[in-house]
Structure formats: structure tokens, C-alpha cells
Amino acid sequence: MSRTDLASQNCTLARTIELIGDAWTLMVLRELFLGERRFDALLRQTGASPHILSQRLKRLENEGVLRRETYTTHPPRHDYRLTPKGRDLWPVIVTMKQWGDSWLEAGDTPVAIIHKDCGRTVIPHVTCPDCGEPMTARDAVPRLSPEFTAERAAARKQA
């Protein structure tokens, strides 16, 4: 199976992985969440090559994760901004950051998160929307849909 085949799976996680499960794409998202908008800034802060960066930006634009906005017409220049679909990736980026802070770090966190509403520096965490308790892998049981169960059974039988 090629990487692009992931997009055709029933699994919405596999389809998300196919789209953003790539180091340069994730670095671009980091930069957009930090407020960078211009190609040159994205180039320098991600460390990607111009070709790779162009390709990743085009894909994210095609998928509606970001949009280009013209900021001057003489000469024509545009910048890159997250759409609502793109901004909705914030929990993914933040949970990756928290994991890095917990497991890969030696000193202070490079980016603290301040919650506007309460003004505090916080470590956002994943909770249950019903009971409000923090959730971990131990607290959750996955229940697979019939379609996904069938897809997995077919994969299991492959030679």
C-alpha cells in the first residue's frame, strides 16, 4: 500500500495522517499557529526547502486547511492564513507540544500557553465532555464501526 492509499481508508485517522502526517506539513502548521504568514518567514522558520514548502502549502490550500490572501497588488503578493478547518488542528499541535514538553525536554518549555479567558499559563489537557474528567488511553475503549471492522478483517486475510 502506498502512503496515498491511506486517504481511501474508512478510518478518519488514517485520512488525517495521509494529509498532515508529515514533518514539514506539521512544521508549517506550527508556524501558522505562531502567527507567521509569509513564504519567506515559513521558509526560514521551518527549515524546509523552497520546493518542499511550496508543495506542502499548495496541498494544504487545496484541502482548505489554509487560504492565500493578497496583501498587495503592485507587485502581487500574498500570505498564508489558517482557515477554520486549519485552526481546528490546534488540539493536535498542542497535544504534540505537551508530549514533547513531558518526554523530550530538559529545561523549561519553549512555548507557554496562556488561556485568554482565565489569564493563566496552562497545560491544556484532553477531558471527557460529559463528566469533565481528564482522559488517558487507560480510560478509553474504542468501538469500531461495522465498516471499519470489515476493512480490518479483509486486511487480516491478505497474503
Nearer to a second copy, 71 or 122 (CB): 122
> Distance between CA 54 and CA 59 in Å, rounded?
9
Nearer to a second copy, 2 or 73 (CB): 2
How far, CA to CA in Å, does 117 sit from each of 13, 65, 113, 114, 134?
Answer: 31, 26, 12, 9, 20
Phi-psi region of 80 (alpha: psi -120 to 50; beta: other; left: phi over 0): beta
DSSP 32-95: HHTT--SHHHHHHHH---HHHHHHHHHHHHHTTSEEEEEEEETTEEEEEEE-HHHHTTHHHHHH
Maximum CA extent, the chain: 60
Least gap, CB of 59 to a second copy (angstroms): 13
Least gap, CB of 74 to a second copy (angstroms): 26
Least gap, CB of 141 to a second copy (angstroms): 4
Least gap, CB of 64 to a second copy (angstroms): 8
Nearer to a second copy, 71 or 90 (CB): 90
Least gap, CB of 14 to a second copy (angstroms): 7
Nearer to a second copy, 76 or 129 (CB): 129
Nearer to a second copy, 11 or 79 (CB): 11
